[in-house]
Structure 1
Amino acid sequence: MKYILILFFVFSSVFVKAQELQCSVSVMSPSVQGTNKQVFETLQAAIIEFMNGQKWTDNVFSGEERIQCSILINIKQIISVDEFSGTFQVQLRRPVYNSSYSTMLLNYIDQDFAFKYTEYEPLIYNPNTFESNLVATLAYYAYIIIGFDYDSFSKEGGSKYISMAEQIVSIAQNAPQKGWKSFESRRNRYWLVENYLNEFHRPLRECMYDYHRNGLDKMSSKAEEGRAEILKAIEKLRKVQREKPGSFAMQVFFDAKSDELINIFKESFSMEKGRALEVLSECDPANVEKYKKAFTGN
């Protein structure tokens, strides 16, 4: 029995090291009144197990290498005893080399999230079939998280996993729930993978790599050099904006990066700050007033 227990802990340790995600999960229902919310606690535990216990890639991760991410599900409506709707927020952070700082890669709220769940129901992912909108959505964002993370470490390194998210979109085309079809919206799960795999958005993916590996990862030792590389990286986004103005992928990028970009350039010298303001005003017009105030005080 002693040796069996030792083997159990050894294999358990190997299993834990093999997983890619360290995903925190919160299921909230502040606007839902007068109902037994125990099911949401059970759901939260099931999602934590699903995201962190599933093997998503062929790569082996040590504990400290696991990808830091979070999911916040806000239940806004109980449609029936086992059917719910609300929002699904996903955040992804990446550590910056030789620092205690972590940078936001993704901060997105999916507004069209409806699903069925029965308490204690196991969440099982079958990549070849669509059996549950809950499972499909979780698996989709798991691959998006991994794809975005890999893109920040190697040029277009996340293509395989973004393509796997695209496969889930294809399988989900007959799903009754929203979020999977091109005609429902220009800003949903369909368009996120379409944008990232589209040739027009290659400069954005190049920016993801250059921004993080050549820029942020250098800033702890060579701040000015790293900042200059970040400016060169975001200048690549001009091509995307001119060819695909207001694209969904660009919005997702700046939702994660606008505040960080302000912090990076607000203390820069005037010429570089002016260039940054010019680029950001063109590529992220939704936040132009925020950039002007931060960089010029007006």
Structure 2
Amino acid sequence: MIKIIVFFCLLCGLGKLQAQELNARVTILAPQVSNISKPTVEALQKTIRDFLNNNKFSNESYKPEERIDCSFIITINSWDGGSGYTAEAQIQSSRPVFNSSYNSTLLNMSDKNFDFSYNDGSTIDFSDQNYISNISALLTYYAYTIIGLDKDSFSKSGGTSYFKKAQNIINLAQASGNAGWRAADGLRNRFWFNENTLNPIFGELRIFIYYYHLNGLDQLTDNDKGLKQILGALPALQQMDKQKLGSIFPNVYFATKAEEITNVLSKLNGQERMQAYNMLAEIDPANIGKYEGLKK
């Protein structure tokens, strides 16, 4: 009996050690595709969800409650009747704010080139060392990107190793000919988002993510120290190359966070709100309309 109890304890411990990183919700839509059946869509949806939730993308231990909430909304635009799908996707991830019920969005990215091949009833295999299929590469790339951003929110540039893993997926996938993996495929694609995360030019933005979340939002329930930390982190962003402000990483990040930042910093006094507004207007002119709330 003792041996059985020990055995089950070991199994439980092993399960915790091997707990996966993602808690992914997957929704597949095909509103304009008449030749695709509901069971096919549902089966594909489950296969993608299982890939994201059942594979381990790191050697780290995640408790069930520590898994990263994320969602993939995949819209199929056409299907060739066999294995070929053209699609686009909206990928989101968030992390909880300490001592609150609020989840703060870290990533909200649109991918217009989410095309893939998939045979009904098959599984999607995972490899971080070989290119298996475009759907496997797409999901693995975003898994690493999601984990990298989450790590950045808990430690300064803590996601670097995961952004490098995503970079390796890009390098493996480039020979496939699928769009979005190469620099020449446009300025708003997976290649450039990853390039930006690893480019020292955007190092201050990654450090801001840390200050904003761990030293900012996570401290708001206790006192106004968190507000001061966020305000104090903004000047460093003013040092970013103004010619690079339209790049995909800052563009996606601030489009995701501008409204939230405004709501959070609106708790500052009038003089500090104007100070924050002036800095944000310079740092992120594309979303200046959202920051107008700080002037009230």
TM range (shorter): over 0.9
Give secondary structure in 1 for the equivalent of 2:59. Answer: coil
Q: 1:180, 1:12 → 2: CA distance? A: 40
Distance 1:7 1:38, change over 3 A: farther
Query: Which structure 2 residues correspond to residues 246-261 of structure 1 after superposition, within 5 A?
Result: 246-261=246-261
* Matched-pair contact (CA < 8 Å) for 1:108–1:255: no
Structure 1 counterpart of 2:269: 269
Distance 1:9 1:71, change over 3 A: farther
- Residue 232 of structure 1: how far off its partner (Å): 2.1
Identity, % of aligned positions = 37
Query: Is 1:103 the counterpart of 2:116 in the alignment?
Result: no
Deviations 1:147-174 (A, max 9, x none): 0000100111111111000000011111
Distance 1:176 1:37, change over 3 A: farther
Distance 1:5 1:120, change over 3 A: farther
Distance 1:39 1:8, change over 3 A: farther
Moved more, 79-88 or 183-192: 79-88
Structure 2 counterpart of 1:30: 31
Structure 2 counterpart of 1:154: 155
Structure 1 counterpart of 2:295: 296
Query: Which structure 2 residues correspond to residues 47-126 of structure 1 after superposition, within 5 A?
Result: 47-126=48-127
Give secondary structure in 1 for the equivalent of 2:26. Answer: strand
Query: Is 1:179 the counterpart of 2:180 in the alignment?
Result: yes
* Matched-pair contact (CA < 8 Å) for 1:241–1:283: no
- Residue 5 of structure 1: how far off its partner (Å): 12
Unaligned runs of at least 5 residues, structure 2: none
Query: Is 1:219 the counterpart of 2:220 in the alignment?
Result: yes
Distance 1:6 1:78, change over 3 A: farther
Distance 1:7 1:51, change over 3 A: farther
Q: 1:288, 1:79 → 2: CA distance? A: 43
Deviations 1:1-45 (A, max 9, x none): xx9899689737743662111111111112222432322111111
Structure 2 counterpart of 1:232: 232
Q: 1:35, 1:56 → 2: CA distance? A: 32
Unaligned runs of at least 5 residues, structure 1: none
Letter in 2 for 1:262: T
Moved more, 268-277 or 9-18: 9-18
Moved more, 101-110 or 282-291: 282-291
Distance 1:163 1:237, change over 3 A: same
Q: 1:126, 1:61 → 2: CA distance? A: 20
* Matched-pair contact (CA < 8 Å) for 2:35–2:81: no
Q: 2:8, 2:179 → 1: CA distance? A: 43
Give secondary structure in 1 for the equivalent of 2:184. Answer: coil
* Matched-pair contact (CA < 8 Å) for 2:220–2:227: yes
- Residue 234 of structure 1: how far off its partner (Å): 3.0
Q: 1:137, 1:5 → 2: CA distance? A: 42
Letter in 2 for 1:183: A
Moved more, 242-251 or 159-168: 242-251
- Residue 79 of structure 1: how far off its partner (Å): 3.5
Q: Please list every run of at least 4 consecutive aligned residues from structure 1 whose deviation after the TM superposition is greater than 4 angstroms.
A: 3-10
* Matched-pair contact (CA < 8 Å) for 1:98–1:220: yes
Deviations 1:92-119 (A, max 9, x none): 1111111111111111111111101111
Q: How many corresponding residue pairs?
A: 293
Structure 2 counterpart of 1:164: 165
RMSD: 2.1
Moved more, 58-67 or 28-37: 28-37
Distance 1:123 1:5, change over 3 A: farther
Q: 1:7, 1:69 → 2: CA distance? A: 34
Give secondary structure in 2 for the equivalent of 1:74. Answer: strand
* Matched-pair contact (CA < 8 Å) for 1:200–1:243: no
Q: 1:108, 1:91 → 2: CA distance? A: 6
Letter in 1 for 2:260: E
